Amino acid sequence: MKDTVSKFLDFLKTEKGSSDNTVASYRRDVSNLIDYLESNSISLNKINNTNLNTYIMYLEKKGRAPSTISRNVASIHCYFGYLYKNKIIDQDPSSNLISPKIEKRLPEVLSMEEVDILLSQPNDNDCKGIRDKAMLEALYATGIRVSELISLKKDDININLGYIRCNDNKKERIIPLGQVAKDAVKRYIAEARTIMVKDPHEEILFVSCLGHRMSRQGFWKIVKSYANKAGINKKITPHILRHSFATHLVENGADLRSVQEMLGHSDISTTQIYAQMSNNRLKDVYSKAHPRA
């Protein structure tokens, strides 16, 4: 069965254009399923819906979160759908597999005041601080994912026209870069990057202190350290700035279609959560401020 997993992952990369993170998740989920089936002596042509439902129950008994189980179900659907379409199996045993209901929780965001405090933390008297300031400003100004931020190349940013070009799963989107972020990135390129880069042929825009591409974990530590320094008592991740970007845009009147395009969401329903968050905040402001609330 494991050879079919390799072919499936190649299909995700080459034909579907899935991101590295998506492929890694599918690899983990499907490999765990295969290990379970093989440990129970169930061959590929003997797998049925009962086997798969039993596996889902097994995950539940192990205490896996509903969101994790739901992702596993999605991976299983995709894997067996691929096998069926390519005539590797005669029928799709996952066709009736149902994901558990997940309680939708609104993502945590920073207030505009908290964003100001966070973005003012880097010490711009040294190269690292100038770089960190530029990265944080760019992240909040554009709402791009951390993986997209650390993958930006020099040619992906146009300082004069004020935009960045972001490639997401072979789809390109152009996102405006506000004046504050533009100034921060411009200073980083002029004063810090030339010193930090060791290889003159390096194309990555934001480099580590060693002059190479930064890791996601490395940037996460940077954000966390500045959050602690700012005294922000929330669970801070780089992704919280993406949520804050979208929420603040909607709160200030941006239409959902524009926000959807900037975030790179394929489905508007994913973006609608920010409208709900904005409405909830308005209700909260009203209840606190109106004399007859």
Q: What is the CATH number of the domain that holds 79?
A: 1.10.150.130
In a domain? residue 226: yes
Number of Cβ within a 10 Å radius of residue 48: 12
Burial string for 242-272 (b: 16+ CB within 10 Å, else e) reads bbbbbbbbbbeeeebeebbebbbeeeeeebe
Q: How far apart are CA 231 and CA 114, in angstroms?
A: 9
Do residues 260 and 164 both lie within one domain? yes
Do residues 119 and 45 both lie within one domain? no
- The per-residue pLDDT for 277 is 64
- The per-residue pLDDT for 117 is 95
Do residues 125 and 66 both lie within one domain? no
Contacts of 248 (CB under 8 A, 6+ apart): 109, 112, 115
Q: How far apart are CA 113 and CA 97, in angstroms?
A: 45
Do residues 120 and 27 both lie within one domain? no
- The per-residue pLDDT for 290 is 45
At 144-197, the pLDDT tens digits run: 989 999 999 999 999 999 999 987 666 788 999 999 999 999 999 999 999 999
- The per-residue pLDDT for 285 is 47
Number of Cβ within a 10 Å radius of residue 208: 16
Q: How many domains does the chain have?
A: 2
Do residues 258 and 219 both lie within one domain? yes
Burial class (CB in 10 A: 0-12, 13-18, 19+), 135: buried
Q: Quickly list H helices, 86-166.
A: 112-119, 127-142, 146-149
Do residues 180 and 227 both lie within one domain? yes
With a threshold of 0.75, does the pTM exceed it? Answer: no
Mean pLDDT by 10 residues, the chain (293 residues): 86 86 91 92 88 92 88 93 91 86 70 93 94 96 91 94 82 89 96 93 94 91 93 85 87 83 78 68 51 49
Owning domain of residue 117: 112-288
- The per-residue pLDDT for 252 is 83
